[in-house]
Amino acid sequence: VPHRFERLLKALADEEWDAVCCTVKIFGTVSSGMARYVEWQNGLMEPKDLWANRFVEIPGLHQSGLYPRHVLRETLGGYRDLPSWPIDIDTWMRLAEARVRIGKVPGDMYGWRQHVLQSTRNHGRCGLEHLRRCKAHFLLKVLPPSVTDVEVWSTGHTLVGWAKALREGHEESHREPVRQLRLRLVEWRPRKKRRGGKGRRHGDVAEETTAVDNSVDPSNQSTAHAEQCSVIVERVDMEIG
């Protein structure tokens, strides 16, 4: 869009922002999910809203922004090309960690073309497992030391995926565990209506184990690993409605 950089520079000069990005227009082969994602992203305008939602999804399109050199080089130490997760989510997480104030300018001044060959759809690092791993890594870093209980609500493979990411992230950040993390995994499903009565609620039906990744047979884990594991898990099954 013409004058995009002019408007971004003006916003950077006039506002109390350290960096700035803009809302975007999506076009091309657009899926309904991607359209909803961009609509959600375009609704986050103020720095506090961007950072409050960073663990939901990336709150702004990185390539739509303008970032002073000192922010990227001195504050962040440059971009990191990691095998673990994508560069853009890593950059956003580290910008938030450094308390960099980023605002968003309206006007859909950047066009984001969707096509079947884009890295978002095809690069291995952009898969859900890698994005969860990144979110879990940075979420665990901001948890106060006093927090020892984390509750995750989801279902099926998504719940197992988050449990795996949180366990691995916790164990990687605490090679010699300094605190024990208790994960309460709540698997929910819509409540089924029964004739002549209320739906059933299942609670506290799971037992504590030392294994978080439920796709792995705990019997295959070594005794030494189980003794050193710093994560305790409680599984709960609920019907909600």
Give the model confidence (pLDDT) of 69-85 as tens digits.
Answer: 999 999 999 999 888 89
pLDDT per residue as tens digits for the range 131-181:
999 999 999 999 888 888 888 988 888 998 999 999 888 888 765 555 678
CA atoms within 13 A on the CB side of 98: 20
Q: Which residues contact 210 (CB under 8 A, 6 or more apart)?
A: 218, 221, 226, 229, 231, 232, 233
Give residue 219's pLDDT: 34
Give residue 36's pLDDT: 97
Burial (0-12, 13-18, 19+ Cβ within 10 Å), 124: exposed
The answer to whether residues 50 and 20 touch, using CB atoms and an 8 Å cutoff, is no
Tell me which DSSP letter residue 63 carries: G
Output the six-digit token pair for 81: 């090309």
Alpha-carbon gap, residue 136 to 117, rounded angstroms: 28
Mean pLDDT, the chain, as a whole number? Answer: 81
* Phi, psi (rounded to 5 degrees) for 33: -65, -40
SS3 assignment, position 100:
coil
Q: Is 108 a residue whose pLDDT tops 50?
A: yes
Select from 32, 125, 133 the least CA-distant residue to 86: 125
Determine which of 7-16, 54-63, 204-213 has the lowest per-residue pLDDT on average: 204-213
Determine which of 96-105, 210-219, 227-236 has the lowest per-residue pLDDT on average: 210-219
Alpha-carbon gap, residue 20 to 141, rounded angstroms: 25
